[in-house]
Each structure stands twice: as C-alpha cells, then as structure tokens.
Amino acid sequence: MRDRISGVVLLAVAVFLYTQTFDIRTPGRARGVGPEVWPQMLLIALAALSVWIIVNSFRGQKAKNEPPLKLSADDLRVGIAILLSLLYAFTLESVGYLVSTAIIVACLAALMGQTNRVTLVAVPVALSVVSGMLFLRMGVLLPHGEGIFRSLSVMVLGG
C-alpha cells in the first residue's frame, strides 16, 4: 500500500512539474540543449518508474497479504514532532532562539517519553542558554525575537 501511495504521489509530482517546464523561459537565445530539456528527461524517467512502482504494488504475494494501512500511535507522534519542528522554525524570528528552543526542546522531550518534570524544565533551559551563548560567540547571529522576548534574550545571552 505504501508503494502504491508513494508511486501515485511521485507520478502526480512528475506530471505537475513537467507542465511547469513549459514555463521555463530562456533570456536571450539559447544554444545547444535548453534549460528545460534536462528536467524534462528526468521527469519522464520519474513518471515511468513511478508507474512501475504502482504496477508492481498490485502484483505478487506481497500485495495479496498486505495489511490495510493504518495510522499508529508512532505515526501520530511523528506527526506531532513534525508540527513542533515547523512551529520552531515559524516562531524562531518572532519569539527568538532562547525561548523557542527551550519550549520546543521540552515539548519534544515530553513527546519522546521523558516524564521527569525537573529534567523537562532544567535540560531545555540549560541547553537553550548554553548553546545560545556558544553559537553567538562563534559568530552565528541567532534571532533574539521581538518585544519582551528580545529584551529577555539580550539580557541572558548578551548582544
């Protein structure tokens, strides 16, 4: 079932991207192979292989014995981890590295089974502060955030 789904998604992506290659405009007059030819070749190969994967997923013993695809607790946990990571990226500039790192690290640790409350507070805060100081000293311009978060970050990590 997974092969079938991945094959269909990849085929759809290949077809969609192939239609996008018609919009590739060459500034001036191109000599030789145009900029759209290489991606088109790749997309044709991708589409053909995706069809192969889809067809194969219906063939053989494996297809007959395959259990239906169900979402497990693990899948749910990964889904939450992905959302938390995206939230981390989304809040990094507005909330700042210091606070967003501490919160997201604590949430991810809890998600992965850490239950000790002291650990859940102390480790993320320590990690955020120590790594923030270290990276700033190394010249990485970590975002301080806005408003109150900025004031807090500058106070803890320094300018």
Partner 1 sequence: MDLTSNISLGLATSLQPLNLLMLLAGTVVGILVGALPGISGPMVIALFIPLSYTLDIIPALMFMTAVYCGSVYGGSITAILFKIPGDPGNAATCFDGYPMARKGLGSKALGVSAATAAIGGLFSSLVLLLLTPLLANVALQFGPAEYFAVTLLGMAAVTTLGAKSQAKASISCIVGLLLATVGTDEVTGAVRFSFGSTYLNDPIPMTAALIGLFAMAEVFDNVSGTSEGSAGLKGAQTILPSLKELWGLRGVIAKSSLIGTWIGIMPATGATVATFLAYAEAVRSSKHPEKFGTGVIEGVVAPEAAGNAAVGGSYVPMLALGIPGSASAAIILGAFTLHGLRPGPLLFQQQTKLAYAVIMGMFIANLMFLVGGVLSTRYLAKVLETPPSLLMPAVVMLCVVGSYGMNNSMADVWFTMGLGVIGYLLISKAGYSVGALVLGFVLGGMMESNFRRAILMEGDFVSGILLRPISGTLVVLAVALALSPWLRQVWRRVTHAPEDVEVAPVEQ
Tokens at 97, concatenated = 């590295």
Of 53 and 152, the one with the shorter C-beta distance to partner 1 is 53
Residue 55: strand, helix, or coil: helix
Residue 140 gets the label, from left (phi > 0), alpha (psi -120 to 50) or beta, of beta
Backbone angles phi, psi at 130, to 5 degrees: -65, -45
Least distance (Å) from partner 1 to the CB of residue 85? 6
Residue 3 neighbours by CB under 8 Å, 6+ apart: 53, 54, 56, 57
Least distance (Å) from partner 1 to the CB of residue 139? 6
Residue 113: strand, helix, or coil: coil
Q: What x-and-dash track marks residues 79-108 binding partner 1 by CB under 8 A? A: --xx--xx-xx--xx---x---x--xxx-x
Indicate which single residue of 15, 56, 66, 154 sits in contact with partner 1 (rule: CB under 8 A): 56
24 binds partner 1 (CB under 8 A): yes
Task: Tell me how far the alpha carbon of residue 56 is from its chain's centroid.
Answer: 29
Piece of 59-67, 73-81, 145-153 that binds partner 1 (CB under 8 A): 73-81
133 binds partner 1 (CB under 8 A): no
Burial of residue 26 (number of CB atoms within 10 Å: 0-12, 13-18, 19+): exposed
149 binds partner 1 (CB under 8 A): no
Task: Tell me how far the alpha carbon of residue 82 is from its chain's centroid.
Answer: 7
Q: Which residues bind partner 1 (CB under 8 A)?
A: 2-3, 5-6, 10, 17, 20-21, 24-28, 30-36, 38-39, 42-43, 45-46, 49-50, 52-53, 56, 74-75, 77-78, 81-82, 85-86, 88-89, 92-93, 97, 101, 104-106, 108-114, 119, 123-124, 127-128, 131, 135, 138-143
